[in-house]
Amino acid sequence: MEDVNAFELLKEEMETEEIHLKVNVIHRLKTVILAMGIDDTIKKLIPYLECKNYFAHIYINSTN
């Protein structure tokens, strides 16, 4: 899988109204990061997720 395709798929699934797709994306986040590589993760994925405020939700849920 290409890094651009992994990121584009992630964005597409995060924009859907279907909750199960969003949950699946979070579960596959490590795979997406590995497919994208460090540079693209830092430049593209992290800013995207920060904009969506998903990091806060992930952190809060992981501490419970």
Alpha-carbon distance 57 to 4, whole Å?
25
User: How would residue 49 be classed by pLDDT, with cut points 50, 70 and 90?
Assistant: confident
pTM: 0.68
- Residues contacting 10, CB < 8 A, separation 6+: 25, 28, 29, 32, 45
Amino acid 22 reads K
Q: Look-up: residue for tokens 């419970």?
A: 64
Alpha-carbon distance 14 to 8, whole Å?
10
User: How would residue 8 be classed by pLDDT, with cut points 50, 70 and 90?
Assistant: very high
Which two tokens mark 61?
Answer: 């849920």
Which two tokens mark 57?
Answer: 């939700």
Q: Averaged over 30-50, what is the pLDDT?
A: 92
pLDDT at 1 over 50: no
Which two tokens mark 58?
Answer: 């992930």
